[in-house]
Structure 1
Amino acid sequence: MAERPTTGWRHGIAEEAAEIAAGTLDPECACMAGLFPEKLLRATDAVLDTFEDRLAELGNAGDEQVFAVVERVVLALNAVDEAHNGSAFETDEREELCDYIDQSLTEHGVDVVALTARHGLGRYQLTDKWRKW
């Protein structure tokens, strides 16, 4: 099953906290908690919860239905990013979120390569139409 990006971000925060507690990391060098405040993590998880619920409904959905699910998750992530001054998701986070969307769709029977090809898109352009982050 695709791992949510927020799981990895939380793990990074915990690792840094443990290193600080052990004295192996200078608190001045820790950045994860600042990059991923709990408010951002909760908001992102709420969006991904809704996305996952909609995935279960796809079954034998047509292209338009799949694109509608992608559009909704991307627009909701845009709102999260905007609520964090447009800096919630940097390059690595964007890639992780896009990969998560792609992997999750694939795990629910969507052939992302075929879907995007039918619409004149490359595989990694799935979210581009709506994505602002």
Structure 2
Amino acid sequence: MALRPSDYWRDQVAEQARGLADGTVDVEDAHLAQLFPDALLDITDTTLECFEAELRALVLRTDEAVMDTVRRVVLALNAINTQFGGGAYETAERELLCDYIDQTLTERGIDVPALAARQGLGSYEITDEWRDW
């Protein structure tokens, strides 16, 4: 199963907190808890859980149904990004989220490059139409 970016970020925050506690990380270098507050991680995780559930529930995996599911998760992530000042998902976070979406689709048996091609898109462009982050 694809690792949710929110789980990865939560692990990174915890690792940095351990480093602060044991003295291997300087306070000046500890910024992850500010970049990834619990509220952001929780709502992102819930959104990605919903995306996974929607994909599992698809009876007919038509291109339209799959792209609608992708559109909904991207729009939800846009709203989260806005809620957190427009900077919740920067370049590295964006790449992890896009990779996660592609991996999750692939795990559900969807050929992402073929889906993208049928939409007139490049392999890594299925979120681009709706993505603000």
Please identify runs of 4+ aligned residues in structure 1 that moved more than 4 A. Answer: none
- Contact 2:47–2:77 (Cα < 8 Å) also in 1: yes
Matches for 1:8-27 after TM superposition, within 5 Å: 8-27=8-27
Q: 2:50 aligns to what?
A: 50
Kindly provide the CA deviation profile for residues 67-99 of structure 1, in whole angstroms up to 9, marking residues without a partner as x. Answer: 000000000000000001101000000000000
Matches of 2:119 and 2:12 in 1, distance apart? 37
Q: CA deviation at 1:25?
A: 1.1
In structure 1, the residue matched to 2:115 is: 115
Work out the CA distance in 1 between the residues paired with 2:67 and 2:47: 16
For 1:104, the equivalent position in structure 2 comes to 104
Q: Kindly tell me: are residues 48 and 97 of structure 1, through their superposed partners in 2, closer, same or farther at Cα, counting changes over 3 Å?
A: same
* Aligned mates of 1:8, 1:119 — CA distance in 2: 31
2:39 counterpart residue number:
39
Tell me if the contact between 2:74 and 2:130 (Cα under 8 Å) persists in the aligned partners.
yes
Percent identity (aligned): 55
Unaligned runs of 5+ in 1: none
The number of residues matched between the two structures is 133
Secondary structure class of the residue paired with 2:124: helix
Matched with 2:76 is 76
Q: 1:119 and 1:26 mapped to 2: Cα distance?
A: 48
Q: Give the C-alpha shift of residue 101 in structure 1.
A: 0.4
Q: Is the 8 A contact 1:58 1:108 kept in 2?
A: no
Structure 1 Cα separation of the partners of residues 57 and 43 of structure 2: 22
Are 1:117 and 1:123, in contact at CA under 8 Å, matched by a contact in 2? yes
Does structure 1 conserve the Cα–Cα contact (< 8 Å) formed by 2:7 and 2:45? no
Q: CA deviation at 1:58?
A: 2.6
Distance 2:59 2:112 in 1: 14
TM-score (norm 1): 0.97
